Amino acid sequence: MNRFELTVWGARGSIPAPAAANQIFGSDTSCVELRCGDRLIFLDAGTGIVTAGRKLYEEKVSDFDILFTHCHLDHIMGLPFLIPLYKDHVSARIFAGHFLDDTTCQAMVEGFMCPPYFPVKPKQFAAKIDYRDFRPPQPLDLGDGIAVKTFRLDHPNGAVGYRVEYDGRAVCYITDTEHQPGTIDPALVEFIAGAAVMIYDSTYTDEDFERFVGFGHSTWQQGVRLCRAAKVPQLLIYHHDVSRTDMWLEELAAEAAAEFAGAQVARTGLTIAI
């Protein structure tokens, strides 16, 4: 079997959460690395991608893809600090498809890496960057047998869920998204069906969800219901709220594993073979 694994570089949502009480699960925002054989794909470029980038530089990795779920700051704020983008031997493809208007991926990156918000413009990237636009459910062919399916999620300003298939296995990355309490979206069940792992927006819990209707996020319990319905054996609880300390997340891990044996809580540095 070819290598197919994921590594979490940042599991937080909304804003980084550096604190002594958050050392185990980490403080960085959304970023997951996929290794498909020799290929490297990043799901989002939150602050977690900064540490990943230093490692890539040491490994002399010169080619990768970035798939953005959307461009809320917690998913893009690491991009300007991704060291390999400033090296001229590097090639990268950056995908975005969540826009609800005719904004493009390139315009989005140029729009946030721009004075007075940030001093460095993307034209100072030395890497060869290919910006790619799509609209879900358009599939993406990344080559080398890597097939990506896309799904529009319910989130303010839009977001895209991904299903990455390689060597007969699949992983799904479903964040940021809001569910309707008491229902399970049959289209989403079909989208994730049979995947080995689903990484899921678990910002809230069923107990506190009522207070956050309309915020565009979901709960770990909805992740369990989706995994059960779609026969997905592993759930990775993800996009932790800034208030969730290690102690809180340890308790959640035990509660979730008791409810669904394949559930675990994402933390920076966690690697899972798919």
State in Å, rounded, how far the first CA of the chain is from the last one: 11
By the rule CB under 5 A, 98 interacts with Zn ion = no
Instruction: Choose the stretch contacting Zn ion; rule: CB under 5 A; options: 10-18, 85-93, 162-170, 225-233.
Output: 10-18
For residue 110 the two structure tokens come to 């140029």
Q: Closer CB to Zn ion, residue 36 or residue 199? A: 199
For the bound state, the minimum distance from the C-beta of residue 100 to Zn ion, rounded and expressed in Å, comes to: 13
The residue nearest Zn ion at its CB is: 72
Instruction: Choose the stretch contacting Zn ion; rule: CB under 5 A; options: 8-16, 83-91, 178-186, 258-266.
Output: 8-16
**Cβ pair 150, 160 in contact under 8 A:** yes
For residue 197 the two structure tokens come to 């792992």
Instruction: Choose the stretch contacting Zn ion; rule: CB under 5 A; options: 114-122, 171-179, 220-228, 244-252.
Output: 171-179
Q: Out of 176, 202, 249, 272, name the contact with Zn ion by CB under 5 A.
A: 176
By the rule CB under 5 A, 10 interacts with Zn ion = no
For residue 149 the two structure tokens come to 């399916």
For the bound state, the minimum distance from the C-beta of residue 180 to Zn ion, rounded and expressed in Å, comes to: 18
**Cα separation, 144 vs 196, whole angstroms:** 20
By the rule CB under 5 A, 122 interacts with Zn ion = no
For the bound state, the minimum distance from the C-beta of residue 64 to Zn ion, rounded and expressed in Å, comes to: 21
Q: Is the dihedral of CA 114, 115, 118, 120 positive or negative?
A: positive
Q: Out of 10, 13, 26, 84, name the contact with Zn ion by CB under 5 A.
A: 13
Number of residues interacting with Zn ion: please give it, by CB under 5 A: 4
Q: Out of 44, 74, 165, 241, name the contact with Zn ion by CB under 5 A.
A: 74
Q: Closer CB to Zn ion, residue 35 or residue 72? A: 72
For the bound state, the minimum distance from the C-beta of residue 203 to Zn ion, rounded and expressed in Å, comes to: 8
For residue 73 the two structure tokens come to 């700051």
Instruction: Choose the stretch contacting Zn ion; rule: CB under 5 A; options: 15-23, 69-77, 190-198, 266-274.
Output: 69-77
Contact positions toward Zn ion, by CB under 5 A? Answer: 13, 72, 74, 176
